[in-house]
Amino acid sequence: MVSRSSVARPRVVRLAGLGVGGAMLLALLSGCSVAGLGSAFGGFGWPQGGITPQAHKMYDLWIASTIAALVVGVFVWGLIFWCVIRYRKRGDQLPVQTRFNMPLEILYTVTPVLIVAVLFYYTAIVQTDVDKLSKNPDQVVEVVAFKWNWQFNYRDGIGPEAKTVASTLGSTDVIPLLVLPTGQKIRFEETSKDVIHSFWVPEMLFKRDVFPGNVRNTFEVTLDKEGRYVGRCAELCGTYHAFMQFELVVVSPERFERFLAAKEAGATTPDAMGAIGYTGSERFAVTTQPFDTRRHGESWNQTDTVAAGK
Ligand SMILES: [Cu+2]
């Protein structure tokens, strides 16, 4: 009786140590080929195709955490099935009753704490990086949200005292375009005219609430991929919240300079888009379109009107 448990115990401890060590190692090696492994499994549910270094870091963190969780999961499932098979009922005799295995108790108290500590460490690093503000951003954009559209003000400096050098205002008929360059530090400073909105470009894998009043939320990103991306309000702000959209247009720094120069010279946003090579309908949003918000007999309260025989 005694000999059996004393032989089994070190083996279990060794096995547990091995699994935990593997999980920790994977978590520690997270930076290396995690992105490749993650994309092989469809990102483990995390959106792929981020367009900022910050988005790539968040993606890597997610993949590494998921792999670490999977390693622990597979190890635990293995132990469960091993116990189920190895110690299945063989007769009516009561099996050896063991309790209070001190090494194991310590192991499975210390191990989760270590795993959480490692996850916390990497989360804190990525979060700090995503939230980091530089002293001298290359571009500053003031995001003004209101029910139910956006205004983007290109600023000559940081803070509320800076001046607007050019701006784009969305309307019911025109989706506002936010044109920005690649490879530059871009600071967003957010303010709302009425209620709480939220600035969200899905490809940035990032959103931040836009508050009214004195709160001026800021964040910075660097865009590393040219293209056109839909932007949305991500905070339920009223009747037409779902229609509160904009488009982020990421271009080369040279084209951005030309765009901004055209805007500063008084061009409309579609005209400035024309000045950097966009033609026809490309001068307007291509990822989304304005919605008809007019209320009339056909679009509003139709059921009631029909029911009343009007
Ligand atoms: Cu909104």
Question: How high is the mean pLDDT in each 10-residue block of the chain (310 residues)?
Answer: 46 57 54 60 79 93 92 94 91 85 91 94 96 95 95 95 95 94 97 96 94 95 96 94 95 97 95 95 93 64 49
How far is ligand 1, taken at its centre, from the CA of residue 110, in Å? 46
Cα distance from N-terminal residue to C-terminal residue, the chain: 90
Identity of residue 168: T
Confidence at residue 5, expressed as pLDDT on a 0 to 100 scale: 45
Give the separation between CA 47 and CA 36, rounded to whole angstroms. 14
How far is ligand 1, taken at its centre, from the CA of residue 199, in Å? 8
Is pTM, for the whole model, over 0.85? Answer: no
How far is ligand 1, taken at its centre, from the CA of residue 211, in Å? 10
How far is ligand 1, taken at its centre, from the CA of residue 43, in Å? 29
How far is ligand 1, taken at its centre, from the CA of residue 245, in Å? 9
Confidence at residue 85, expressed as pLDDT on a 0 to 100 scale: 93
The label of the residue with tokens 């089994």 reads 8
How far is ligand 1, taken at its centre, from the CA of residue 143, in Å? 12
Distances (CA, A) of 117 to 42, 97, 112: 27, 34, 8
How far is ligand 1, taken at its centre, from the CA of residue 222, in Å? 24
How far is ligand 1, taken at its centre, from the CA of residue 187, in Å? 20
How far is ligand 1, taken at its centre, from the CA of residue 196, in Å? 7
- Closest to 190 (Cα-Cα) out of 136, 245, 150: 150
- 164 beta partners: 155
Confidence at residue 26, expressed as pLDDT on a 0 to 100 scale: 54
Distances (CA, A) of 269 to 152, 158, 159: 11, 23, 24
How far is ligand 1, taken at its centre, from the CA of residue 151, in Å? 12
Confidence at residue 149, expressed as pLDDT on a 0 to 100 scale: 94
In the structure, ligand 1 is a single-atom ion and the residues with CB under 5 Å from it are 197, 233, 237, 244
Confidence at residue 6, expressed as pLDDT on a 0 to 100 scale: 44
How far is ligand 1, taken at its centre, from the CA of residue 189, in Å? 16
Confidence at residue 87, expressed as pLDDT on a 0 to 100 scale: 87
How far is ligand 1, taken at its centre, from the CA of residue 207, in Å? 12
Q: Which residues contact 44 (CB under 8 A, 6 or more apart)?
A: 38, 62, 63, 66
How far is ligand 1, taken at its centre, from the CA of residue 75, in Å? 45
How far is ligand 1, taken at its centre, from the CA of residue 144, in Å? 11
How far is ligand 1, taken at its centre, from the CA of residue 117, in Å? 37
How far is ligand 1, taken at its centre, from the CA of residue 124, in Å? 29
How far is ligand 1, taken at its centre, from the CA of residue 236, in Å? 6
How far is ligand 1, taken at its centre, from the CA of residue 221, in Å? 21
